[in-house]
Structure 1
Amino acid sequence: MSDPQKDDPAAAGASVDSGDQSSWRSKAAMIVPLAIFFALGAVIDTSPKVDGDVIDASAYLTLVAARVLLMTGSLIFFTRQIATQFQWSVDRLGVIVGIVGALLWIGICEMQIERGGIAWLGLSPDWLPEREGVNPWMAFPGAGERGVFLILRFVLLVICVPIAEELFMRGFLMRAVEVEDWTRLPLSQIGRTGLVVGTVYAIASHPGEAIAATLWFSLVSWLMLRTGRFWNCVLAHAITNLLLGVYVCLFERWWLW
């Protein structure tokens, strides 16, 4: 018996409204939210102004708040286009993959395999970029400001980034390299080229965690091909990020976020 989710174009990631799907807004919906994330990072300078500081806390709070506000606004603006291409559909596999993905990511990052490999080659580990590593209890001594930061940081981590990144990566990039009329390509039909390009993006956007990014991306891509459900991928991404954020705060592993 065939899988009804894979036989249903809408559930598998293809639109049933071909006119709206081919519009510029339908394509922009896949790209703009993540573009906002990177554009704000380039515009707002968070470099430390005091020796010994990791970051300019005030500027970083502004950056996180701006990202949450503008990315959420863009997702609301493009709600119709996103819903047309990817109807809401999730299952327990999304939850399972999210949990397994978090365990993989945390375990591999804690081993710091990438830095060990760089050192083995005789190169300086400083060659690999590091995250901001912001400790909220150090950067924001006031409980109120710290609370606002943590709320915004988790909204960005668990909601905005998973949706925006999956829209760009699986909604646009991995489909666009497969066929010209990419907005009609179901996720379950993405081929080898799309998978390779997606893996390259995952590594390029997480060079300091290249091995973890490769394995995590491969796991979620398996979920994508297995179920054909876009929102399953978002759910897995969100759960991984949530568990990572909780782990970071509980064990003070600030360099992981």
Structure 2
Amino acid sequence: MGKAGWVRIIPFATFMAFIGVQQLLELSVSKGWLDLTAQQMLYLYPLKTVLVLGLILFFWRQYTELQLSDFKNLRHSIASIGIGLLVFILWINMDWGFTALGESKGFDPFLIESATSRNLLIFSRLFGAALVVPIMEELFWRSFMLRYVITANFSSVRIGTFTLTSFLICAVLFGLEHNLILAGIMAGAAYSGLLYWTKSIYQCVLAHAVTNLILGIYVLQTGHWQFW
């Protein structure tokens, strides 16, 4: 696998490690080992966003598959935006209890009394969800994992190469990464399908960013924090 694999794994693994840290802190609080409030726990998100963004920027030159020129194809870009919107619509309508992996407490910035701190948290959440997460996840899932399932020498596989096995495995694993498993599988399948058509990681990033940005705006407008 080598360096090419690790530079795509490390930002994602770091982000996921923070989820483990949060769960450990929540357990410690419930056992009385630590005295942390729900408000204080919210600050983990901007911390992990900044750290993961720093890793992405540090490895940036290694991500040669990210080509801004891909956006010149307006047909692809418009389709990516449309798929992002479609995934959002399906996502908020697939919140069936039997598909949920545990209970999502969500991210409610209005637990913070200070307007300045609250607005900074909202900005960090939107920025992280709409920019950092799409780049991080698409580099891991669509650039690395889809190809790695085909062969360990993933760099030898062209971006957007389809095999049924890699498609199904990555869709399911992408779903298991999320609280709403079936919604996650749907989103993973949609973004992978977009990749097979466009052969562009950046188009997948665009679709993913649209989904997350619109979802964030929806959550702020409705107060359905479980989607965050």
- 1:76 alignment partner, one of 45, 57, 65: 57
Selected match of 2:87 from 68, 88, 101: 101
TM (norm. structure 2) is: 0.86
Deviation at 1:191, TM superposition (A): 0.9
Match of 1:246 in 2: 217
CA distance in structure 1 between the aligned counterparts of 2:189 and 2:106, rounded to whole angstroms: 26
Q: Which protein is bigger by CA-based radius of gyration? A: 1
**One-letter amino acid of the counterpart of residue 124, structure 2:** L
Q: CA deviation at 1:35?
A: 0.9
Matched, 1:219 2:190: yes
Q: Which amino acid aligns with 1:26?
A: A
Question: Does structure 1 residue 31 correspond to structure 2 residue 3?
Answer: no
Alignment counterpart, residue 66 of structure 1, candidates 39, 47, 53: 47
Cα distance between partner residues in 2 of 1:43 and 1:218: 29
Contact 2:141–2:170, Cα closer than 8 Å, also in 1: yes
Matches within 5 A, 1:130-169: 130-137=103-110, 139-169=111-141
The aligned length equals 216
Which residue type is aligned with residue 133 of structure 1? G
**How has the CA–CA distance of structure 1 residues 159 and 46 changed in structure 2, closer, same or farther, with 3 Å as cutoff?**
farther
**1:161-200 alignment, distance < 5 Å:** 161-200=133-172
Q: Deviation at 1:142?
A: 1.1
Correspondence 1:224-235 to 2 at 5 A: 224-235=195-206
Contact 2:175-2:188 at 8 Å conserved across structures: no
Q: Are the counterparts in 2 of residues 175 and 182 from structure 1 also a CA contact under 8 Å?
A: yes
TM-score scaled by structure 1? 0.77
- Give the alignment's Cα RMSD to 1 decimal: 2.3
Gap regions ≥5 residues in structure 2: 72-76
